[in-house]
Amino acid sequence: MVYDLLVIGAGPAGSVCAMHAAKAGLKVLLVDKAKFPRFKSCGGALSKRTHRQLGPKAKLGVNCNADGLVVWSPGLKAADYEEPNCLDLVVRTEWDHKVLMDAADSGAEVLEATMAKTVSKNGDKYKVSLSSGNQVSCRYLVIGDGAGLRSYKKSLGFQQPYDHMARTVCAEIPLDDSIIDETLGTRRKIHIFFGVVPRGYGWLFPKRGHLNVGIGFGNASAPSLTQFEVFDRFVTQLKEKKMVPSDCDFSCRVAHPIPFKKPFEPIGSDSALLIGDAGGFVSPVTGEGLYYGTASGLHAAQAISAQIDGTAQVDLVSDYTSRWMADFGTDMIHSGLWLANFVYRSQKRMELMVRMMIADEKTRRTAARMIMGIASYSEARSRILKRALLSAAKSLSV
Ligand SMILES: Cc1cc2nc3c(=O)[nH]c(=O)nc-3n(C[C@H](O)[C@H](O)[C@H](O)COP(=O)(O)OP(=O)(O)OC[C@H]3O[C@@H](n4cnc5c(N)ncnc54)[C@H](O)[C@@H]3O)c2cc1C
For 298-322, letters b (16+ CB in 10 Å) and e give bbbbbbbbbbbeeebeeebbebbbe
Please tell me the distance between residue 383's alpha carbon and the centre of ligand 1 in angstroms. Answer: 32
CA gap 396, 352 in Å, rounded: 9
Q: For a substitution probing ligand 1, which of 16, 32, 215 has the most ligand atoms within 8 Å of its CB?
A: 32
Query: Which among 269, 268, 274 is positioned nearest to 17, based on CA atoms?
Result: 274
- Which residues touch 181 (CB under 8 Å, ≥6 apart)? none
Nearest residue by C-alpha to atom 30 in ligand 1? 146
Domain containing residue 301: 2-57+92-162+261-337
- Tell me if 253 CB under 6 Å of ligand 1: no
Q: For a substitution probing ligand 1, which of 290, 291, 298 has the most ligand atoms within 8 Å of its CB?
A: 290
Please tell me the distance between residue 77's alpha carbon and the centre of ligand 1 in angstroms. Answer: 32
Q: Which of 231, 259, 287 is the last residue of a domain?
A: 259
| Angle between helical axes of 377-386 and 361-371 (0-180°, round to 10) | 160
What pLDDT was estimated at residue 229? Answer: 95
Whether residues 69 and 205 share a domain: the answer is yes
Write the pLDDT tens digit of every residue in 134-166. 999 999 999 999 999 999 999 999 999 999 999
Which domain CATH number covers 171? 3.90.660.10
Whether residues 73 and 192 share a domain: the answer is yes
What would the mean pLDDT of 257-266 be, rounded to a whole number?
97
What pLDDT was estimated at residue 221? Answer: 82
- Tell me if 257 CB under 6 Å of ligand 1: no
Whether residues 321 and 355 share a domain: the answer is no
- Tell me if 41 CB under 6 Å of ligand 1: yes
Whether residues 128 and 178 share a domain: the answer is no
Q: Which of 259, 294, 317 is the last residue of a domain?
A: 259
Helices (H) and strands (E) in the chain, counts: 14, 16
Whether residues 326 and 177 share a domain: the answer is no
Please tell me the distance between residue 58's alpha carbon and the centre of ligand 1 in angstroms. Answer: 16
Average model confidence (pLDDT) across the chain? 97
Whether residues 154 and 169 share a domain: the answer is no
Whether residues 200 and 267 share a domain: the answer is no
What would the mean pLDDT of 358-383 be, rounded to a whole number?
97
Please tell me the distance between residue 17's alpha carbon and the centre of ligand 1 in angstroms. Answer: 14
Write the pLDDT tens digit of every residue in 66-108. 999 999 999 999 999 999 999 999 999 999 999 999 999 999 9
Whether residues 235 and 370 share a domain: the answer is no
Q: Which of 212, 236, 259 is the last residue of a domain?
A: 259
Write the pLDDT tens digit of every residue in 183-199. 999 999 999 999 999 88
Q: Which atom of ligand 1 is nearest to the CA of 282?
A: 19
Nearest residue by C-alpha to atom 31 in ligand 1? 11
- Tell me if 100 CB under 6 Å of ligand 1: no
Q: How many domains does the chain have?
A: 3
What would the mean pLDDT of 17-34 be, rounded to a whole number?
98
